[in-house]
Amino acid sequence: MGDIFRILARFKIDERGIIYTIENSNKANIRIGDILFDLRNNGFRVKGMEMLRRLLGDTPMDEIPVGILLEPLSGAEVMGNILVRELKNINFLFCNHPLYQKRVDEDYKGEYQAAGLDHACALFSFEDMETGTLSLYGEEISGLTIYRGWMMKPEMYRDFYSKLEERGIILINTPKEYEKYHLLPGWYDDFKEETTATVWEKQGNVKSALLAAASWEGACIVKDYVKSRKHEWYDACFIPEISDAVNAAKVIGNFIDRQGEGLVGGVVLRQFERLKQIGFHERSGMPLSEEYRVFIYAGKVFAVDDYWTENIGAGISDEEYQWIESIAKRVKSNFVTVDLARKEDGTLIIMEFGDGQVSGLQQLKPEKFYGMFRQRRERQKRG
């Protein structure tokens, strides 16, 4: 990891500027005068360094992060949480087919083919990783890598990240970043003014869920820290009146029972927002709203996708796009998604965040999605 540096924090020192703290290791061999790049290929010269013992008390010397002061070469601020000596082409890592080790999972075949036109792509066995074994196939890769595949619980991702790092493969999001945006409690406080009121509990228990929302009235949605059962809208998702304890307990109980061992974290209750409807799902009957999935890469909007239709962000105004960019700048991870929905009054609201590595493309075509990485690289070469 000698050429990839994780930014742990940023803070401003009067008359000096912004100090970026990075992980300290014997491989973090940074010197004054070195040139580093962020994920957007903005260049920076290291013009100052300091050990931060005075800020970290009794932390052992080898665990104290290094503070670096950067001089922008193009006037841009650092985007994302990674600095590199050279921004090389990013690798992609996909789940393999559960029966044919050297084939990609059928659900990711289109993405694998599109990514392979411009990027090195490897495969791994998700099933083996579930038991703690990393089995890699396909191209040999090293360096900065984006995983594209099935959701993992934070404990599994942590193990996955660590085992890949031992092989010289560095996932774009750390386990801490993955957990923060994969689980609702991780991001909620940062964006509670832009989303619906939410409470949660940690036991996966009907009684404690109702207690958390004891002061509420009106309609609610039940989910866990990651997913709902929205396609079982009337049985295990939508609660018409949370103060109707009997019916609320029934819906929450159905949700818990049907999630089974797949329940992540605990029970989440979110106040129901009246959204601009565009129809109903043909199989489940759940109401469909005007919704968008936004991919955020290194602090900026990367792609915007209509969630249910193929209009590719057609309903978003220039002013709303600027608002979305302001959301992107506040994200503390390198690759995430944010799902937005339009309320009945016409304004947009945040519905969910997710780690970008395990978020589906929805209506966005793989060729377009991976083509945007190619366009980004071409702009870097010209710049």
Whether 308 and 377 map to the same domain: the answer is: yes
Answer whether residue 101 shows pLDDT above 90: yes
Whether 80 and 146 map to the same domain: the answer is: no
What's the CATH number where 350 sits?
3.30.470.20
Whether 97 and 80 map to the same domain: the answer is: no
What residues are paired with 238 via a beta bridge?
221
Whether 67 and 129 map to the same domain: the answer is: no
Q: What pLDDT digit, counting tens, does each position of 246-292 carry?
A: 999 999 999 999 999 999 999 999 999 999 998 887 777 788 899 99
- pLDDT attached to residue 121: 97
Q: What pLDDT digit, counting tens, does each position of 124-149 carry?
A: 999 999 999 999 999 999 999 999 99
CB 361 within 8 A of CB 305: yes
- pLDDT attached to residue 279: 85
Q: How many domains would you assign to the chain?
A: 4
Whole-prediction pTM: 0.91
- pLDDT attached to residue 312: 53
What's the CATH number where 56 sits?
2.40.30.10
Which residue among 212, 242, 271 closes a domain? 271
Whether 265 and 295 map to the same domain: the answer is: no
Asked whether residue 253 is assigned to any structural domain, the reply reads yes
Whether 298 and 347 map to the same domain: the answer is: yes
- pLDDT attached to residue 13: 78
**Out of 12-16, 191-195, 366-370, which region has the weakest mean confidence (pLDDT)?**
12-16
More confident site: 27 or 218: 218
Answer whether residue 383 shows pLDDT above 70: no
Whether 292 and 371 map to the same domain: the answer is: yes
pLDDT band at 49 (very low <50, low <70, confident <90, very high): confident
More confident site: 103 or 29: 103
pLDDT band at 51 (very low <50, low <70, confident <90, very high): low
Asked whether residue 364 is assigned to any structural domain, the reply reads yes
Calpha distance 34→47 (Å, rounded): 8
Provide the mean pLDDT of the chain.
91
Which residue among 172, 188, 213 closes a domain? 172
Asked whether residue 206 is assigned to any structural domain, the reply reads yes
**What residue type is assigned to position 383 of the chain?**
G
- pLDDT attached to residue 311: 59
Answer whether residue 330 shows pLDDT above 90: yes
Whether 38 and 62 map to the same domain: the answer is: yes
Answer whether residue 191 shows pLDDT above 70: yes
Asked whether residue 161 is assigned to any structural domain, the reply reads yes
- pLDDT attached to residue 59: 57
The terminus-to-terminus CA distance of the chain in angstroms comes to: 26
Asked whether residue 177 is assigned to any structural domain, the reply reads no
Whether 62 and 100 map to the same domain: the answer is: no
What residues are paired with 160 via a beta bridge?
none
Across 173-201, b (16+ Cβ under 10 Å) vs e yields: bbbebbbbbbbbebbbebeeebbbebbbb
Whether 336 and 318 map to the same domain: the answer is: yes
pLDDT band at 76 (very low <50, low <70, confident <90, very high): confident
Asked whether residue 184 is assigned to any structural domain, the reply reads no
Answer whether residue 57 shows pLDDT above 80: no
Distances (CA, A) of 354 to 131, 167, 319, 380: 24, 26, 24, 27
Which residue among 50, 84, 118 closes a domain? 84
Tell me which residue range forms the domain holding 202.
198-271
Whether 257 and 315 map to the same domain: the answer is: no
Asked whether residue 298 is assigned to any structural domain, the reply reads yes
Total residues found in the chain within this entry: 383
Which H, E and C letters describe the chain, residue by residue?
A: CCCEEEEEEEEEECCCEEEEEECCCCCCCCCCCCEEECCCCCEEEEEEEEECHHHHCCCCHHHCCEEEEEEECCCCCCCCCEEECCCCCCEEEEEECCCCCCCECHHHHHHHHHHCCCCCEEEECHHHHHCCCCCEEECCCCEEEEEECCCCCHHHHHHHHHHHHHCCEEECCCHHHHHHHHCHHHHHHHHCCCECCEEECCCCCHHHHHHHCCCCCCCEEEECCCCECHHHHHHHCEECCCCCHHHHHHHHHHHHHHHHHHCCCCCEEEECCCECEEEECCCCCCEEECEEEEEEECCEEEEEEECCCCCCCCCCCHHHHHHHHHHHHCCCCCEEEEEEEEECCCCEEEEEEEEHHHCCCCCCCHHHHHHHHHHHHHHHHHC
- pLDDT attached to residue 314: 61
Q: What percent of the chain has pLDDT over 90?
A: 74
Q: What pLDDT digit, counting tens, does each position of 195-237 carry?
A: 999 999 999 999 999 999 999 999 999 999 999 999 999 999 9
Answer whether residue 298 shows pLDDT above 70: yes
Answer whether residue 3 shows pLDDT above 90: no
- pLDDT attached to residue 380: 60
- pLDDT attached to residue 285: 77
Looking at residues 1-18, what average pLDDT do you find? 81
What does DSSP say about strands 291-297 and 335-342: parallel, antiparallel, or unpaired? antiparallel
State how far Cα 369 lies from the chain centre. Answer: 16
- pLDDT attached to residue 284: 73
CB 118 within 8 A of CB 37: no
CA angle at residue 146 from 176 to 337, to 5 degrees? 65
pLDDT band at 74 (very low <50, low <70, confident <90, very high): confident
What residues are paired with 239 via a beta bridge?
220
Asked whether residue 358 is assigned to any structural domain, the reply reads yes
Answer whether residue 313 shows pLDDT above 80: no
Answer whether residue 331 shows pLDDT above 60: yes
- pLDDT attached to residue 50: 76
Whether 62 and 19 map to the same domain: the answer is: yes
Answer whether residue 37 shows pLDDT above 70: yes
pLDDT band at 378 (very low <50, low <70, confident <90, very high): low
